């Protein structure tokens, strides 16, 4: 499974319908990190723990931890931010088969240390 599939899995599991504004909270924390007002933020969702820093985002399965089925995986900060913003737009879209949203995620390899 590629990192884009993991990001989609994390977003749909941990921010389903933006219940109680969790997605908006994480987006604000991402902006704080981008402005250097915060060094890191850890979000523990129902499916994954997101450790967010300017150098990248680390995901660990909340229930199983690190295991063969759910290894630790990473994406860049820019990829995470773009995916979060795209998912937020997706949630605001009209519920229709004619709706379409394409989110271009930046290329790049995350730091994994």
Please state the pTM of the whole predicted model. 0.82
Q: pLDDT per residue over 28-86, tens digit each?
A: 999 999 999 999 999 998 889 999 999 999 999 888 888 887 888 899 999 999 999 98
Structure tokens at 12: 């749909």
Query: What are the pLDDT digits (tens) for 8-29?
Result: 778 888 887 777 788 999 999 9
Transcribe 34-95 into DSSP letters.
Answer: HTTS-SEEEEE-SSEEEEEETTEEEEEETTTBSBTTB--EEE-HHHHHHHHHHHHHHHHS-S
Residue 41: Cβ within 10 Å count: 17
């Amino acid at each position: 499974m590629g990192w884009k599939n993991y990001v989609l899995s994390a977003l749909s599991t941990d921010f389903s319908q933006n219940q109680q504004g969790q997605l908006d909270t994480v987006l604000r924390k991402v902006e704080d990190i981008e402005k250097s007002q915060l060094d890191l933020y850890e979000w523990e969702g129902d499916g994954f723990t997101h450790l967010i820093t300017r150098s990248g985002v680390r995901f660990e399965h909340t229930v199983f931890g690190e295991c063969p089925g759910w290894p630790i995986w990473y994406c860049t900060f820019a990829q995470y931010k773009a995916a979060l913003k795209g998912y937020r737009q997706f949630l605001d879209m009209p519920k229709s088969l004619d709706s379409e949203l394409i989110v271009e995620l930046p290329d790049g390899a995350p730091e994994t240390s």
